[in-house]
Amino acid sequence: MTAQQTLSDSVAVVTGGTGVLGSALCQGLAAAGATVVVLARRELPVAAVADRINAAGGRAYGLAADVLNQAQLITARERILELYGRIDLLVNAAGGNTPEATAIPGQRTFFDLPPEAMQWVFNLNFTGTLLASQVFGTPMAAQQHGVIINLSSMAAFTPLTRVVGYAAAKAAINNFTQWLAVYMAREHSPAIRVNAIAPGFFLGDQNRFLLLDAQTGELTPRGRQIIDHTPMGRFGQPEDLIGTLLWLASDASRFVTGIIVPVDGGFSAFSGV
């Protein structure tokens, strides 16, 4: 880690901080010196992630809040400001998918997707990112500095089969990332930067049912197809995101805003031939 990538004295908020990816991002930020506020809906998992970080010598504080509940987010923000006086970094890691919003051959066609399931996926991924950016971006505007990092997906660039709602929501996040980067820099301060990370295929709760057979643990045909189209020949591991996260979060990228960085093992570079 370079001196530019240290985050000592920074206060970072991570939504979805108890998820497979979110918890790894929390740990990576804490290892770089940040005080990490782990934010998610349920109190016990939030406390567990914070306790692991503190036990390892980092600094973390857990808060329960739903990214779709603006009042809860505001309460969380006021508690953070009471404790630390500022918010330097927001990582919007809350997101996911559900089988009910996924077109699966033999189970559910596009024409059968329930509107409420589609709306739930879009809200969780996009609206949760929007609301958290409004609430936690407010002190950044007042401070005239800060960093917002959104989590996009490979599905945002070229829609993947099956995950129609998820792909649409992540595409919206890409557009929003660029819009907010320009808005923050021009309307508030050039020292407020907004970027996104677009993971390739990482095993998580929202996609495991599509990639691994629940009975055998072996790759499904879709999982095999993904590995065959990933030049590095494997799924991503949560720790694979930390280097990009620290680059975007720190002064190492101080002239970078409005970009979406793929971390995908070469998936987006491979045509399949």
Tens-place pLDDT, residues 129-163: 999 999 999 999 999 999 999 999 999 998 888 89
Containing H/E element for 265? Answer: none
pLDDT score for 155: 93
Mean pLDDT of the chain: 93
Identify the active-site residue in 61, 84, 166, 183: 166
Instruction: Name residue, tokens 């917002």.
Output: 148
Contact 25, 242 (CB under 8 A): yes
- The answer to whether residue 76 scores a pLDDT higher than 60 is yes
166 is catalytic: yes
Higher pLDDT, residue 211 or 5: 211
Tell me the one-letter amino acid at 28.
G
What CATH class has 3-35+43-266?
alpha beta
pLDDT score for 69: 98
223 pLDDT band (50/70/90 cuts)? Answer: confident
Tell me the one-letter amino acid at 140.
M
- Provide the token pair at 1: 């880690």
- The answer to whether residue 204 scores a pLDDT higher than 80 is no
CB count in 10 Å sphere of residue 162: 20
Q: In the predicted model, what is the mean pLDDT of residues 192-218?
A: 83
pLDDT score for 150: 98
- The answer to whether residue 250 scores a pLDDT higher than 60 is yes
